[in-house]
Amino acid sequence: MTATHLFEDFGGASKKVKESSPLGLEEVEDQKLQAFENGYQAGWDDAISAQSDSGKHVSAGLAASLKDASLEYQEVRDSLTNSVQEIMSGVVKTLLPKIARDSLGAHICEQVLAMTQSGSERTVQVAVAPEAEDVVLSILAEGNAASFEIAIDRLLAPTQAILRLGTDEREINLERMLTEISQSITAFFETQKPEVKDG
């Protein structure tokens, strides 16, 4: 038995091929030109599409890089701000009060000399806190201040003094100055904190 029944027979009746008329030279050239135009347009469209995709990829990459850089900048800025705030807080709490206490006598001496420049022979009364008495006495003695009298006022801070000459009274309040400096530094660092955004 043969297996011919399993395969298709291609030797059967042949189909008639329709004969086409030969194309003229002008028609052939038009077809070639049209094929070239179609190929050129398809290549141009592919190039534009590739450029657009490349631009989108570059834009997305740039946006991601800028976002990362912005986040890193903000983190570094916040860290630096916190470090500077700690340093400034330490300066305000420890260093400035010592400087103020040490310079109180010089401020008092300057004011006593200004008050007695009018040639008055009266005594300037200097009211200070008990803790500031020794420092003020030594600086006034060294500064050749006119006659003065020290009065102890327990209500005054070590960085405060009140000077009286007749009806003229002047207050030296380095404590207030320290408070204002501290408030200014605190306000500055409050403005430097990042805003919390909803969402």
Domains and CATH numbers, the chain: 77-191 (3.30.2320)
Of the candidates 106, 141, 110, 117, which has an alpha carbon nearest to the alpha carbon of residue 150? Answer: 141
Token pair belonging to 170: 């002047």
Query: How many distinct helices (H) and strands (E) make up the chain?
Result: 4, 4
- Is residue 64 over pLDDT 50? yes
Q: What is the pLDDT of residues 135-175, one digit of tens each?
A: 888 877 776 666 778 889 999 888 889 988 888 888 988 88
* Residues 78 and 194 sit within 8 Å (Cβ to Cβ): yes
pTM over 0.85: no
Tally of CB atoms within 10 A around 27: 10
Q: What is the pLDDT of residues 4-34, one digit of tens each?
A: 777 777 766 555 555 566 667 888 888 888 8
What's the CA angle centered on 65, arms 63 and 69, to 5 degrees?
115
